[in-house]
Amino acid sequence: MKEMGIGLLGFGTVGAAVVAGLQEHADLIARRVGVRLVIRKIADLDTERDRGVAVDPSIMTTDAAAVVNSPDIDIVVELMGGVGAAREMVKMALELRKPVVTANKALLASHGPELYHLAAEGCTDLCFGGAVGGGIPIVRMLREGMTANRVDSIYGILNGTCNYILTRMENEWLLFDDVLAAAQAAGYAEAEPSLDIDGHDTAHKAAILASLMLGQPVTSDRVYVEGIRGLSELDIRYALEMGYRIKMLAIIKLIDAKLAVRVHPTLIPLGHLLAQVGGVFNAVVLEGDMVGQSLFYGRGAGGDPTAGTVLADMADAARNLVYGSVRRVMPSMENEEDAISYRDIADVVSRYYLRASLLDKPGVLARITKVLGDRAISIASVMQIESSAGAHVPVVIVTHKAREGDMNDALRDIDALDVVGAPTVRLRIEDLGETS
């Protein structure tokens, strides 16, 4: 059987899982692909460490560029991470017209336009299924499964660490800081957790999904981001009492030809399937005009799930080399002729959950509702929580749809009132209806 030479850059968790998966399923994959994928070289700064997988030491090197340039390497698999050396290596491979498979979300979210363009110029494949959703084939779905659908909305739980923290806070009635510490101890959160809990990782993935939805590159600097750091367990509880669960959500919507991509903790209806996605799992809801809502659920991270997706991409790239069908799918990704029009976050419309801390005396609530009313923000429900602690009581207000800009103005005015004891907590509600 014909062989295809693979050069692997980066021999970490996913890299080792790719090697192990290929070893375990060598015949299965060869039969399915029609060609044998052979890892001929592996580059990593550490060529010694035991990754729990047997590798011929002679294929290990610290010289990534030599791997990319080697004539026996047909496909370059970039699993180094980061946007420095990884970017240089991916560029080098694409310039050599070698197909690249990568799971590097940060790289695509920041330098996607450059790389998509290079792949188009070199007429070669750039596959990145492993960059979003780990084992969930969401990139493949958007690239190939939705060919006939105009996708106008995507909602995603894309970060396992955030979802794990929120799930434990709710189930065990714990504080954010305590769950974060436990997650760090258990290896579900990094020692430096900002990339996850402040929403940047989700933003990277959201940018990639938005790019696929539009067929044009969207970079993560166009994504509005708020993290879950310091989210109060009170809001998790009050949301539940009103029939919502708080999830860290990426929301991508094209409305009136304007794109808005945002990432923030979001109240979603308990009755929606997405609200049932717990722990480290990820899920993505697509809304296509022909198919309606679809949901894809699975393990969004981890060596084996991501390696499975990376291997499927390697199979695609190999098939395209064998059949001469390079760039068979989605050649329009580099299409920049139509500039994307973005909706400013101030113009995004949604419903809001507010938790105000109000002085417990007559007429106070009326002052709050007047401020909201003055901005034409109407109230859907109010819940005053009985409290014996201090002079201020929490009041939860759920609004009907309002412009974010108007809500910001109203909150500024509300928090300036002398009856307000602490900054008002503001969270967004996403009803996830098929027409919302």
Catalytic residues, by residue number, are 205
Two tokens, residue 197: 């809990």
Q: What is the 3-state secondary structure (H, E, C) of 177-206?
A: HHHHHHHHHHCCCCCCCHHHHCCHHHHHHH
- Asked whether position 262 contacts its own copies by CB under 8 A, the answer is no
Q: Measured between alpha carbons, how far is residue 180 from residues 103, 191, 297 in Å? A: 26, 10, 24
Contact (CB, 8 A) for 126 and 143: no
Burial label for 83, CB within 10 Å (0-12, 13-18, 19+), is middle
CB 335, min distance to its own copies, A:
8
Q: What is the smallest separation between the CB atom of 271 and its own copies, expressed in angstroms?
A: 9
Q: Binding residue for its own copies (CB under 8 A) from 5, 21, 122, 130?
A: 21
The one among 10, 81, 265, 298 contacting its own copies by CB under 8 A = 298
Which residues, 6 or more positions from 363, have their beta carbon under 8 angstroms from its beta carbon? none
Task: Figure out which of the listed residues 69, 70, 232, 294 binds its own copies, where binding follows CB under 8 A.
Answer: 294
User: CB of residue 235 vs its own copies: minimum separation in angstroms?
Assistant: 24
- 81 contributes a contact to its own copies by CB under 8 A: no
**Residue choice 23, 62, 194, 325 for contact with its own copies (CB under 8 A):** 325
For its own copies, the binding residue among 53, 120, 329, 359 (CB under 8 A) is 329
- Considering only 124, 167, 320, 424, the residue that binds its own copies (CB under 8 A) is 320
CB contact at 8 A, 99 and 124: yes
Q: Which residues contact 236 (CB under 8 A, 6 or more apart)?
A: 166, 169, 170, 245, 246
Beta carbon nearer to its own copies, 49 or 150: 150
Closest CB to its own copies among 57 and 324?
A: 324
Among 9, 14, 16, 17, binds its own copies (CB under 8 A): 17
DSSP string, 114-136: HHHHHHHHTT--EE-GGGSSTTS
Nearer to its own copies, 259 or 411 (CB): 259
Query: Which residues share a beta bridge with 157?
Result: 283
- In the complex, the smallest distance separating the C-beta of residue 418 from its own copies, rounded to whole angstroms, is 47
Among all chains, which residue has been given the structure tokens 């791997």? 67
Q: CB under 8 A: which stretch of 22-30, 60-68, 70-78, 370-378 binds its own copies? A: 22-30
| Beta carbon of residue 122, minimum distance to its own copies (angstroms, whole number) | 17
- Sole binder of its own copies in the list 295, 376, 383, 391 (CB under 8 A): 295
**Two tokens at 414?**
């509300």
What is the closest distance, in whole angstroms, from the C-beta atom of residue 175 to its own copies in the complex?
A: 25
Cβ closest to its own copies, residue 66 vs residue 295: 295
Binding-residue pattern over the window 332 to 351 for its own copies, x denoting contact by CB under 8 A: x--x----------------
Please enumerate in sequence order all residues whose Cβ is within 8 A of that of 287, keeping only pairs 6 or more positions apart, or say none. 151, 152, 153, 154, 293, 434
The answer to whether residues 188 and 162 touch, using CB atoms and an 8 Å cutoff, is no
Among 293, 369, 384, 408, binds its own copies (CB under 8 A): 293
Sole window of 102-110, 189-197, 324-332, 348-356 interacting with its own copies (rule: CB under 8 A):
324-332
Of 92, 103, 141, 209, the residue at the interface with its own copies (CB under 8 A) is: 141
Count of residues that bind its own copies according to CB under 8 A = 57
Residue with tokens 């609200």: 275
CB of 371 to its own copies, least distance (A): 39
Binding mask 185-224 for its own copies (x = CB under 8 A): ------------------------------x---------
Kind and range of the H or E run holding 236: helix 233-241
Q: Classify burial at 404, counting beta carbons within 10 Å of its beta carbon; exposed 0-12, middle 13-18, buried 19 or more.
A: buried
Work out how close the CB of 179 gets to its own copies at its nearest, in angstroms, rounded to a whole number.
21
In whole angstroms, give the CA distance from residue 434 to residue 73. 46
Helices marked H in 301-382 — which ranges?
303-323, 364-374
Taking alpha carbons only, the member of 134, 70, 84 closest to residue 304 is: 134
Site for its own copies, rule CB under 8 A: 17, 21-22, 25, 28-29, 31-34, 135-137, 140-141, 144-150, 215, 273, 276-277, 288, 290-299, 304-305, 307-309, 311-312, 315-316, 319-320, 323-325, 328-332, 335
